Amino acid sequence: MGDKANAHPGAAGRATAADHPASVRNVVLVGHSGSGKTTLVEALALTAGAVNRAGRVEDGGTVSDYDEIEHRQQRSVQLSLVPVEWDGIKVNLLDTPGYADFVGELRAGLRAADAALFVVSASDGVDGSTRMVWEECAAVGMPRAIVVTHLESARADYEEMTRICAEAFGGDDPDAVLPLYLPLHGPQAPDGHAPVTGLVGLLSQQLFDYASGERKESDPGEDQLPEIEEARNRLIEGIISESEDETLMDRYLGGEQIDVKTLIEDLERAVARGVFHPVLAAAPAADGARQGLGTVELLELITRGFPTPLERAAPTVTTVGGAPRELKICDPDGPLVAEVVKTASDPYVGRVSLVRVFSGTLRPDETVHVSGHGLEDRGHEDHDVDERIGALSLPFGKQQRTLSHCIAGDLACVAKLTRAETGDTLSAKDDPLLMEPWQMPDPLLPLAIQAHSKADEDKLSQGLSRLVAEDPTMRLEQNQATHQVVLWCLGEAHADVALERLRSRYGVQVDVVPHKVSLRETFANKSAGRGRHVKQSGGHGQYAICEIDVEPLPGGSGIEFVDKVVGGAVPRQFIPSVEKGVRAQAAKGVAAGHPLVDIRVTLRDGKAHSVDSSDAAFQTAGALALREAAADTKIHLLEPVAEVSVLVGDDYVGAVMSDLSGRRGRVLGTEQTSGGRTLIKAEVPEIEIGRYAVDLRSLSHGTARFNRSYARHEPMPAQIAERIREEARDAS
C-alpha cells in the first residue's frame, strides 16, 4: 500500500460476478450522518472507472440514485450496494445510513461485510454513536480502518483528527490507530487556509499529488523529510508491535532498517486480523478530474489489506429442526447457505432481495428453501417454504446488471422472492438450513395510525405487511385492548419514512392518531350492587333480579365469580348467565371505559319468574348489579408500569435520572459497566415514556440505549385519573 504509482488502466471498472472468494472484498462504510459516506462511495466508483467524470452511469443517474425518499429527505435512509472492480478484485461497497433511526440498515451492512471503513469528518469529529459501532465491531473482531473526509473545510485539521481517532478508537493501545499518510498542502489562500492537494506516503516516502485531477508521484523535498521521519518512525513501531514475527521488533530496536516490502506485508496482515487500524484521507474529485484525493490509496488498502471472505469464520448454521451443522468456510462447492440482508420493492420488478452468500453458489431460476428468522413477535411470519427465485443482478444506481451466478462470499440482488424477508435463510430445497439471526434493535417509539378513507382501509393490511417485510426493525401491533394499529419505530425519522413509503410506494394514506396505553379499572373498596331487570309490556316479559358483593383482589388476579346463592333464589341454569353479564360489563368498564380487573364478584341472592326469566334477562341484571356496585364506591384507574433499563455514559447519568424522576419514575438502582457507562434500572408509567426513544437520544446526544418490558398495572394518581375520565366523558 502506498508504493504503487497510477492504477493499471485495465484493472479497474465495473464489477461482475466473482469467480473465487479470494477475489471479493465486502466493505461496509460507517459514520454519522453528513460524514460523507455516499460522496466517498461515488469518488471511489469514479476512480475505479465505474462512472464517468461527471459521476454518471449510463442511464444518466448516479450511484446513489436508489430511493426517491432519500432524494426528498436529503439523507440516506437505507443500505445500498455499489460494486466496483480494482486491480482484479471485486469490491462490494455497502453504504449505510448515518442517522440513528436507521441502525437496522447499518446492522444489515455489518452482517454482509467482512471489514468496516469508518468515515469521519475532519470538521465534525467522532460522535458517540460511531464509537459505539466501533465497539460492536471490536467485539466480533471485524477489521476496521478510518478515512478522514471534508479536508476542504476551513476548520479541517487532519493531524488533530488523527489524534482524536487514536483517542476514540485506540482504547488502551492508541498506537494501533495511526495515519498511513500525511496531507500535502497547496498554496495558502488569502483567508490563510492552505488546501490539501495530495498525500505523503509514510512507508514509501513518496508524494502523491492530486492537484491536476490525476495522481502523480514524486520524491519529497529535503525540507519535508524531518516531518515525514517522525511520523514514519511511529508508524513503523506501531506496525512492528502487531507483527506476527516476534524477531522484528528486536531487529528494529537493534538499528536494522526494515525494508518497506516487509513492513507493508506486516501492515496488511495486521489490518486483516483486526489488530491495526490505519487512518487515511479522502476527498471527492474536482470537476472534470478523474481521481479524488486519496481514493487510489483507499482502494489499495481495501484490496490488499482488508480480508477476503475466506478469512471470515463460518456462520452458525443449524438444520430447520435445530440440529447443529458444520460448514466449510466460504466454500463455493458446499451446500447453499445465503441470507437476505435487505428487502426492497421495485415498482417494475416487485420485491428485490439483497443476498449475501456464505456457502455454495446461488444461480438464477432455481428453487431454494426459505427458512424463517425468528422475528414473529414483530409481525414477521416465520417461514419454512420452497420458492423459485428469479434473476440475479448487481445494482448500480437505477440499473440492474444481470449475473449468471453468485458464489460464496459475494453479494447479489435476487428478484421474485415473494415470501422471503430480511433475515431469512436461503438454502437448497433438499437440504434446508437456518442461519442464526443477527441482533436487531427493539423499536420503542409507538406510531398509532388509521386509514384515511375507506379506499385506504381496504389496502392498509397489505401495505403494512409489505412494509414490515422490508424492515425487521419495525414491529406491527394490532392492540386488542386499545383497538389501535400501532407501528413501533426506532425514532421520528424512521416513522416519517414508514408513512412516506406507505403513501408513495403502496398507495395507502393514513392518519396518525394519539397512541393509547392499555388502562384498566378496579374497585378501591368493597361494595354491593343490585341488578333489577323487570319489563312487562304484554306477552312474554323479562324478569331477573340479582344481588352481588364486589371486593378488590391483588394485582394480576383477574375476575373471580363466586356463587353463594342458597334456596334456589336464582335458578341454577341462570347463574352462568349472571356471570356472563358481569364479565361482559367488566370488559366494557364501569368508570372511563377501560376493562375492569382484579375483583371478586359474589352472587348472594336474587329472584326469578317461572315464565318471564331468561338467560338474556339475567345477563342484563348481572351487568346492572356491577354498575350499581361501582357507583357506590371509588374506582381506581390502573396504568401499565414498565421496567426500564437505560445504558448511558457516565457524563449523562445525572440528567437521565432527573428526567426519569420527572416522568414519575422510581429509580431502582444503578450499576457500573465497561466503557465508562452506567446501567440505570427504573420503573416508569408507560403513559410517560411514549416518546422516550426520542427524548433520551436528545438528552444523551445519541449515546444512550434503553429497553422496556411490562411490569404490572398500578393505580394512577387521582388528578391524572380524573383528567382521563373527563376526556372519556367529552369523547362520548
Buried b (16+ CB within 10 A) or exposed e, 384-396: eeebebbbbbbbb
Q: Is 467 within 8 Å of 351 (Cβ atoms)?
A: no
What architecture is the 638-731 domain classified under in CATH? 2-Layer Sandwich (3.30)
pLDDT per residue as tens digits for the range 171-189: 778 889 999 999 888 777 6
User: What span, in angstroms and rounded, lies between the C-alpha atoms of 33 and 101?
Assistant: 11
Question: In the predicted model, what is the mean pLDDT of the chain?
Answer: 88
Q: What is the pLDDT of residues 56-106, one digit of tens each?
A: 554 444 555 455 555 555 557 789 999 999 999 999 999 999 888 888 889
Residue 260 has pLDDT above 70, yes or no: yes
C-alpha span between 192 and 188 (Å, rounded): 6
What is the reported pLDDT for 243?
87
CATH fold match for the domains 445-513 and 638-731? yes
Topology classification of domain 12-310: Rossmann fold (3.40.50)
Q: Which fold has domain 520-633?
A: Ribosomal Protein S5; domain 2 (3.30.230)
- Dump pLDDT digits (tens) for 355-407: 999 999 999 999 999 987 666 665 556 668 899 998 999 887 667 789 999 99
Closest CA to 481 of 515, 525, 450: 515
Q: What's residue 357's pLDDT?
A: 97
pLDDT of residue 384: 82
Question: What percentage of residues in the chain have a pLDDT greater than 90?
Answer: 58
The grid coordinates listed for 535 are: 319489563
Of 611, 606, 542, 549, which Cα lies nearest the Cα of 572? 606
Give the relative orientation of helices 575-588 and 615-631 as an angle to the nearest 10 degrees: 50
Top CATH class of 445-513 equals alpha beta
pLDDT category of residue 4 using cuts at 50, 70 and 90: very low
- C-alpha to C-alpha distance for 677 and 671, rounded to whole angstroms: 9
317-435: CATH topology: Elongation Factor Tu (Ef-tu); domain 3 (2.40.30)
Please write down the HEC assignment for all residues of 711-732.
EEEEECCHHHHHHHHHHHHHHC
**Arithmetic mean of pLDDT, 589-593:** 88
Structure confidence at residue 31 as a pLDDT band (50, 70, 90): very high
pLDDT digits 0-9 by tens, 549-586: 999 999 889 999 999 999 889 999 999 999 999 999 99
Neighbours of 431 (CB within 10 A): 14
Alpha-carbon span 257 to 255, nearest angstrom: 6
Among 57-71, 411-425, 509-523, name the one with the lowest average pLDDT: 57-71
Q: What angle do CA 3, 88, 1 make, to 5 degrees?
A: 20
